Amino acid sequence: MLTKLKKLEKKTLWIALAVIALCAVGGVYASQSFVADTATADEPAMQTAKIRQGDLTLYASGTGTLISAAEASFGFRSSGQLLSLSASVGDTVEAGDLLAELDNTSEEIQLRQAERELAELTSPAAIATAEQALAQAELDATDAKKHLAYLISWDVLKSEERVAAAEIGLVEAKESGDEDKITAAEFELENAENVLAGNWDYYENHYVADNFKVSATRTSQAYIAKPTEFDILEGRAGYALAQAELIEAENYLAAIQGEEIPADATGSSLAALEQAKLNVLSAQDNLEATQLHAPISGLVMSIDANIGDVVGTSAIVTIADISEAFLEIFLDETDWGMIAVDYPVDVIFDVLPDKVFAGAVVQVDPALYTEQNTSVVRALVRLDESSFDGSKLPIGSAAAVEVIGGRASEAVLVPVEALREASPGQYTVFVMVDDEPKLRVVEVGIQDLFYAEILSGLEVGDVVTTGIAETE
């Protein structure tokens, strides 16, 4: 690449010198042209050119290298001895294809053991045991509720449950933002609290006297002491625990039967079941880690291992995506303004010198690329698949490229030596009118080293001056 760039630099230097010389000639003529009316017959004759119509194309030449659309280098997620290879260098593979395997004897044993433990927890016998546990939990919850109701009365217990439900309803109503629902929920909570207060009053004044002995003597076996605050607290705790155990039993039975359970479900049995499931997933992942699958579709570029080798987690396979063809190209830094996204490109590969491939610029680096102290413009070109016509080129193929920086068809063309730059971007020419040069402002489009496109100010057939004719 650098050799070609150096050639470009020499060519550019020669052209620059030529332009300077032409400008010098133009400057000499300009000083003469202003006194054309008073010139004598001894003055040199003027050199002219006729305006013509034609095509003008601007090129920026450089070099390029064929690269893949994407490339992936990868390896196993675990270490071990390479057992098999299912692909070879040069093979075309699809994403997900199995490429290689490690010796997975221990991983298969681990998976079978984990699956067996999970199967035991979800077996018909385990389900029957869970059903029995649920039935017992239901009985325990019923007994705990009866005991608490005996201590505080059924009316108080039901009223407390109503208040708890009303409090939840009020929270939900506030979350909804519906004022009617909020008002109704507040009314329900107030009524529930009033009922609860009345039931507690009845409990203190009637229920206790009717159901418990308040005498100071305890000589009778039928004596039943009034519940203390600790007794009631203990009863509430027992009921709450029985309810929690009932929920756990319900969730566990549902889980081992494969049914969906709440995300916040807890319990030691449920935890053991979840751990068994995790053990199976972990064992499956460990087994999968002994298999190497292609992450992308493409061409196998390299395999850095042989069957029997002990490999780690470093990359051993490289795949290149060749679904699209790209060129990494480099141009001389002086061509910075000659390249942009979507500009067409002509490409000739060194291995196919007689064929021209078409492409387009898809990326231009915002900064110059430096290699061995040489600054160049780096860009990416996507090659037109239709131009390949079945051609297969190896990745890394070198090419010569020409970026088409501008194109004008059937344009009005004037020799560049006829142009006089009055100010930056502003041009004039001398047009021959009645055998005398007349100054005229023109609008210039694209131009190369020889011709410029005239957008306005000249017509085909006009004659312009280009300098002083040399005489012997």
The whole-number average pLDDT for the span 372-393 is 82
* pLDDT-derived band at 37, boundaries 50, 70, 90: very low
The whole-number average pLDDT for the span 18-43 is 37
User: Within this chain, do residues 146 and 247 fall inside the same structural domain, yes or no?
Assistant: yes
pLDDT in tens, 407-453: 888 999 999 999 998 888 899 999 999 888 999 999 999 888 899 99
pLDDT value of position 468? 66
Q: Is 244 inside any structural domain? A: yes
Kindly report the CATH number assigned to the domain that includes residue 387: 2.40.30.170
Q: Is 278 inside any structural domain? A: no
* DSSP secondary structure letters along 301-370: EEE---TT-EE-SS--EEEEEEEEEEEEEEEEGGGGGG--TT-EEEEEETT-TT-PEEEEEEEE-SS-EE
Q: Is 248 inside any structural domain? A: yes
pLDDT in tens, 263-288: 999 999 999 999 999 999 999 999 99
Which domain covers residue 190, as residue numbers? Answer: 123-257
The whole-number average pLDDT for the span 149-162 is 95
User: Within this chain, do residues 155 and 245 fall inside the same structural domain, yes or no?
Assistant: yes
User: Within this chain, do residues 205 and 171 fall inside the same structural domain, yes or no?
Assistant: yes
* pLDDT-derived band at 385, boundaries 50, 70, 90: confident
User: Within this chain, do residues 88 and 24 fall inside the same structural domain, yes or no?
Assistant: no
* pLDDT-derived band at 373, boundaries 50, 70, 90: confident
Q: Is 320 inside any structural domain? A: no
Percent of the chain with pLDDT over 70: 86
Average pLDDT, the chain: 86
- 212 closest CA partner among 232, 193, 196, 194: 232
Percent of the chain with pLDDT over 90: 70
Q: Is 358 inside any structural domain? A: yes
**Residue 424: exposure state from Cβ atoms within 10 A (0-12, 13-18, ≥19):** exposed
Res 215 pLDDT > 60: no
User: Within this chain, do residues 304 and 370 fall inside the same structural domain, yes or no?
Assistant: no
Q: What is the DSSP letter of 10?
A: H
User: Within this chain, do residues 56 and 152 fall inside the same structural domain, yes or no?
Assistant: no
Total number of domains in the chain: 3
pLDDT value of position 22? 34
pLDDT value of position 4? 37
Res 222 pLDDT > 90: no
Q: pTM of whole model > 0.75?
A: no
Q: Is 249 inside any structural domain? A: yes
pLDDT value of position 469? 53
